[in-house]
C-alpha cells in the first residue's frame, strides 16, 4: 500500500483492525502518554486521539508498536527495500541474480525526491502553542515532539541530496524558551546534523532547520534508519513508501509537502539553552543540559493535520518494535561495513547503547590450533569507532569459528561467551572516553568508560545452572539469586560513595577469594540494592537493564583475586559488578499513580478500550 499521507494510512489500519479511535476528551498533560503505555503493554492497536484538550488537531500513537502492523503498512515495498539495501552493500548481487533485482531498479527510480511548488492552500500558518503539547512523564521539562523528522542541509553543498534527516527530540515549551519563538533541539553524539552545525559555526552563520511531523509512515522510519554511507534518507523514504518524497522551498527552508506539520527555524552558532528533563528510552530521565535552541521562523499545518507521537521509557516500548523493523530491513548492512564482523546486536532490554553483542571471525592465524582473541579485538576497535556504535559501553564479542548462536538470542549468546571468557586475559577497558548522552553512569555528560569482553577460545568452563551453596553462607550480603547460568546477584545496602564501596568490595573480595574453588562455574557476581529479583516476572531482562545501565566499567567492575600486570587488569575469580543506584545517576522513570487512576475512566466507559484494560 503506497500512502499519500498519514490519513490514508490510518484509514487502512482502521479498516483492517489495527487502529481504534478515542473520542472522549483527553488531557495531553500525562493522560495521553499513560493511555498509550497501558495499551502498548497489552500489545494493543494504534490509537487515534480525536478530542485533545485545548487543541483542535488529532494525534495518533502506537503506529509502530507491533512488528506485524509495521509489516502490514509496508507490505507492498518491504521486500524491494530489503533488496535495495542488500544491493547498496553488495552491488555484485545484481550481476549474480539480474532477474531477481529488476523490480528493485524501478523502486530505486521511484525513490528520487520530487520538487514541487509550495501551496498556501495546503498549509496554514499556526503557532507552536496550537500544536498538541504532549507531556509524557511527570518530571518532563515540558511538551516534546517524539516522532520528528529533523531536516538540515550541508552548508558547503546545499540541496536535498546533501541533506540529513534524523529523529532528534524537540522540546516545544517550558524552561527558558520564549513561548512560540524558541524550541529546544536535542541531538546526541555522532549525528548527521552535528556535522552541519559544525560547518555553520565555522562560517559564523545560522543553520536552517526544518522539523517535519507526520506524513506517510515511511518518512518517520527513514529518520531513524541506519543507512549505508551515501544513501539519502529522503530516497529511502520514497522507496519504502512507494511514492517520491515531495518537497518545496519556502523562505529558504525545505518543506515536506506530505508532512502534516512543519516547523522552520534557525540554529545560531553556540546559542544554547537548558533542555530537558525528558523521560527517555533507557528507563531514566535525561536531565536538563544546554542544547541548541532553534529560533522559530514559521509553523505550518495541514487543515486536518494528525500529530503522530510515541512514548519512550524502560524497554520494551514502541521504539523496540521500531528496532525490530529496522533489523529486518537492514539485515547485515552494518556488518558489511566492518570486515570480518558477521553480526551486531544492540540489546534493547539494556537501553540499546549500553550493551552491544557481536560475532566476528578469527582469520589471523589459521595455521594454529589454539587460538586467543586477536582479529576480534581489531573488529571490536572498529565497531567502537563506527558511528553510533561508538557510544556502546559494553561490547561482548565472540569468534564465529566456535559455532556460537545468533547474537540476537541474548541469553544463549551470553552463555556461549561466558563459557569461553578468560577473565585473566579477555577483558579490555577504555577509560575516560565518550559514552551515550543519555547514560548517567559515567563521570559527567558524555564521559565514561567502556569494556570489551572478547571470547575467542574453545570452551574453558561449564557454567553453574544452580546457585552454589557457598552464597548462602556469608554475612556480608543477602538475597543471593541465580540470574542466568554463571551469573549470581547479591544484595548490599544502599551505595553511599566510592570510598565506602571500596571497603565493602575489599571485604567481599577477601571472602570470595577464600571460597574461590567453589566459584568455578560463576563468571559474574552482580551487586544490586532494592530490586527483588526473586519476585520478578522477567529476571533476565532485569539483569540486563540493571547491570548495564547502572554501571560504569572503570569504576564499578571489580574482580575476585584481581590483579594488574603490565597495565592489564584481570581476575582469577568472577567479576564483581556494582550495579547499585549511585547519587549521580538520573532518576528512574515511574508512572504517576494519580494519572493511572484518572485514565481508568477511558477503559471503563469505552467498549473498544475495555479489552485493553
- What pLDDT does 331 receive? 66
Ordered domains of the chain (ranges, CATH): 6-309 (2.30.110.10), 318-455 (3.40.1670.10), 469-578 (3.40.1670)
Q: How confident is the model at residue 400 (pLDDT cuts 50, 70, 90)?
A: confident
Q: For residue range 230-252, list pLDDT tens digits in order.
A: 678 998 899 889 899 999 999 99
- Lowest-pLDDT choice from 39-53, 71-85, 144-158, 378-392: 71-85
C-alpha cell read off for 264 = 522552520
- What pLDDT does 369 receive? 65
**In the predicted model, what is the mean pLDDT of residues 333-359?**
86
Residue ranges of E strands in 104-162: 114-115, 123-126, 144-145, 148-153
- What pLDDT does 604 receive? 82
Tell me the backbone φ, ψ of residue 485, rounded to 5 degrees. Answer: -55, 125
- Mean pLDDT, the chain, integer: 90
Q: How confident is the model at residue 97 (pLDDT cuts 50, 70, 90)?
A: very low
C-alpha cell read off for 576 = 564483581
Q: For residue range 449-478, list pLDDT tens digits in order.
A: 999 999 988 899 999 999 999 999 999 999
Is the pLDDT at 96 greater than 70? The verdict is no
Is the pLDDT at 133 greater than 60? The verdict is yes
- Which among 285, 96, 276, 268 has a CA at the least distance from the CA of 187? 276
CB 530 within 8 A of CB 519: no
CA angle 201, 202, 205 (to 5 degrees): 50
Higher pLDDT, 125 or 372: 125
- What pLDDT does 458 receive? 87
Q: How confident is the model at residue 446 (pLDDT cuts 50, 70, 90)?
A: confident
C-alpha cell read off for 407 = 547474537
Please report, in angstroms and rounded to a whole number, the separation of the first and last CA atoms in the chain: 32
- Which among 153, 148, 110, 127 has a CA at the least distance from the CA of 249? 153
**In the predicted model, what is the mean pLDDT of residues 366-385?**
83
Higher pLDDT, 435 or 577: 577
Is the pLDDT at 286 greater than 90? The verdict is yes
Q: For residue range 416-435, list pLDDT tens digits in order.
A: 999 999 999 999 999 999 88
Q: For residue range 323-340, list pLDDT tens digits in order.
A: 888 888 776 555 567 888
CB 331 within 8 A of CB 86: yes
Q: Return the SS3 of 263.
A: strand
Is the pLDDT at 35 greater than 90? The verdict is yes
**In the predicted model, what is the mean pLDDT of residues 48-71?**
96
d(CA 184, CA 375) in angstroms, rounded, equals 43
List residues bridging with 265 in a β-sheet.
209, 296
**In the predicted model, what is the mean pLDDT of residues 307-336?**
83
**In the predicted model, what is the mean pLDDT of residues 358-375?**
78
d(CA 327, CA 312) in angstroms, rounded, equals 19
- What pLDDT does 444 receive? 86
C-alpha cell read off for 177 = 524558551
Q: For residue range 533-557, list pLDDT tens digits in order.
A: 888 889 999 999 999 999 999 999 9
- Which among 459, 450, 428 has a CA at the least distance from the CA of 568? 428
pTM over 0.85: yes
- Lowest-pLDDT choice from 30-34, 552-556, 600-604: 600-604
Q: How confident is the model at residue 91 (pLDDT cuts 50, 70, 90)?
A: very low
d(CA 128, CA 146) in angstroms, rounded, equals 15
Amino acid at each position: 500500500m503506497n500512502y499519500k499521507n498519514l490519513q490514508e494510512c490510518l484509514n487502512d489500519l482502521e479498516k483492517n483492525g489495527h487502529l481504534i479511535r478515542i473520542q472522549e476528551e483527553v488531557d495531553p498533560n500525562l493522560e495521553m502518554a499513560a493511555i498509550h503505555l497501558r495499551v502498548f503493554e497489552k500489545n494493543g492497536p494504534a490509537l487515534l486521539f480525536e478530542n485533545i484538550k485545548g487543541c483542535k488537531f488529532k494525534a495518533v500513537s502506537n503506529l509502530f508498536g507491533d512488528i506485524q502492523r509495521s509489516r502490514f503498512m509496508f507490505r507492498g515495498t518491504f521486500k524491494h527495500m530489503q533488496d535495495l539495501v542488500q544491493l547498496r552493500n553488495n552491488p555484485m548481487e545484481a550481476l549474480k541474480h539480474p532477474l531477481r533485482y529488476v523490480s528493485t531498479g524501478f523502486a530505486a527510480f521511484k525513490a528520487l525526491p520530487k520538487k514541487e511548488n509550495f501551496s498556501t492552500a495546503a498549509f496554514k500558518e499556526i503557532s507552536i502553542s496550537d500544536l498538541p503539547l504532549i507531556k509524557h512523564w511527570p518530571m518532563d521539562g515540558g511538551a516534546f515532539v517524539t516522532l520528528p523528522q529533523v531536516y538540515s542541509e550541508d552548508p558547503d553543498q546545499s540541496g536535498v541530496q546533501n541533506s540529513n534527516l534524523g529523529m532528534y527530540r524537540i522540546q516545544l515549551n517550558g524552561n527558558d524558551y520564549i513561548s512560540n519563538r524558541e524550541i529546544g533541539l536535542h541531538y546526541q553524539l555522532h549525528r548527521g546534523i552535528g556535522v552541519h552545525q559544525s560547518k555553520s559555526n565555522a562560517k559564523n552563520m545560522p543553520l536552517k532547520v526544518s522539523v517535519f511531523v507526520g506524513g506517510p509512515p515511511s518518512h518517520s522510519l527513514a529518520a531513524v534508519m541506519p543507512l549505508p554511507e551515501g544513501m539519502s534518507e529522503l530516497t529511502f523514504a520514497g522507496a519504502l513508501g512507494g511514492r517520491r518524497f515531495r518537497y518545496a522551498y519556502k523562505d529558504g527552508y525545505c518543506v515536506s509537502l506530505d508532512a502534516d506539520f512543519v516547523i522552520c527555524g534557525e540554529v545560531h552558532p553556540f546559542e544554547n539553552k537548558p533542555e530537558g528533563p525528558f523521560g527517555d528510552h533507557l528507563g531514566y530521565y535525561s536531565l536538563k543540559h544546554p542544547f541548541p535552541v532553534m529560533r522559530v521562523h514559521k509553523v505550518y499545518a495541514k487543515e486536518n493535520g494528525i500529530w503522530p507521537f510515541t512514548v519512550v521509557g524502560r524497554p520494551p516500548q514502541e521504539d523496540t518494535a521500531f528496532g525490530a523493523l529496522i533489523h529486518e530491513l537492514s539485515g547485515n548492512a552494518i556488518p558489511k561495513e566492518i570486515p570480518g564482523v558477521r553480526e551486531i546486536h544492540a540489546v534493547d532490554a539494556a537501553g540499546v547503547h549500553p550493551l552491544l553483542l557481536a560475532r566476528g571471525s578469527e582469520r589471523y592465524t589459521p595455521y594454529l590450533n589454539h587460538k586467543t582473541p586477536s582479529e576480534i579485538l581489531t573488529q571490536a576497535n572498529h565497531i567502537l569507532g563506527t558511528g553510533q556504535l561508538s557510544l556502546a559501553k559494553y561490547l561482548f564479542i565472540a569468534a564465529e569459528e566456535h559455532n556460537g548462536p545468533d547474537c540476537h538470542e541474548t541469553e544463549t549468546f551470553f552463555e556461549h561467551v561466558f563459557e569461553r571468557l578468560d577473565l585473566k586475559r579477555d577483558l579490555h577497558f577504555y577509560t575516560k572516553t565518550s559514552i551515550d548522552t543519555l547514560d548517567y553512569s559515567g563521570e559527567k555528560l558524555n564521559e565514561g568508560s567502556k569494556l570489551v569482553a572478547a571470547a575467542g577460545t574453545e570452551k574453558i568452563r561449564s557454567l553453574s545452572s544452580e546457585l552454589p551453596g557457598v552464597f548462602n553462607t556469608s554475612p556480608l550480603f543477602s538475597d543471593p539469586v541465580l540470574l542466568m547460568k554463571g551469573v549470581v546477584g547479591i544484595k548490599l545496602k544502599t551505595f553511599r560513595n566510592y570510598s565506602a564501596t571500596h571497603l565493602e568490595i575489599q571485604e567481599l573480595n577477601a571472602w570470595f577469594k577464600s571460597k574461590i574453588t567453589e566459584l568455578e562455574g560463576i563468571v559474574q557476581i552482580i551487586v544490586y540494592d532494592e530490586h527483588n529479583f526473586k519476585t520478578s516476572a522477567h529476571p533476565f531482562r532485569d539483569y540486563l537493564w540493571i547491570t548495564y545501565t547502572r554501571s560504569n566499567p572503570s569504576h564499578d567492575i571489580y574482580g575476585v583475586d584481581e590483579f594488574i600486570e603490565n597495565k592489564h587488569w584481570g581476575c582469577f575469580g568472577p567479576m564483581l559488578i556494582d550495579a547499585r543506584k549511585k547519587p549521580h545517576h538520573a532518576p528512574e522513570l515511574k508512572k504517576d499513580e494519580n494519572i493511572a487512576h484518572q485514565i481508568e475512566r477511558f477503559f471503563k466507559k469505552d467498549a473498544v478500550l475495555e479489552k485493553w484494560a
